[in-house]
Amino acid sequence: MKAEETVTIDLRGKSAFSDYLVVTTGRSNRHVSSIAENVTKGLKEAGQKKLHVEGMANADWVLVDTGEVILHVFRPEVREFYNIERLWTQNTQDDARANLKAV
């Protein structure tokens, strides 16, 4: 589906609600919804039973939650505004700095 700027963030040991966070960008509302629809279809075909999708009506930001993995598909402007991957990677960098100080 040619999603752009895809980032996967490992949340194991950092979050109780998910193991991985995947953030990607679609070029338009239609592209965002197409990416989310195709991922959802693939997950269902693969036997994923626990699946929650939000945001398809506007398709500025669509969230697909499987429990273990949460996928966020954004339009570029919306991704830049919320910048959710920075929140999680910033915590990882802070943890690394704390570990270095402890040595």
| Confidence category of residue 101, pLDDT binned at 50, 70, 90 | very low
pLDDT at 102 over 50: no
Range of weakest confidence among 15-19, 26-30, 64-68:
15-19
pLDDT, the chain, mean: 87
The reported pLDDT for the residue numbered 91 is 56
Angle at 69 between CA 67 and CA 70, to 5 degrees: 90
**Quick one: 76 exposed, middle or buried, by C-beta within 10 A (0-12, 13-18, 19+)?**
middle
pTM to 2 decimal places: 0.83
CA distance 87 to 75: 18
pLDDT at 82 over 80: yes
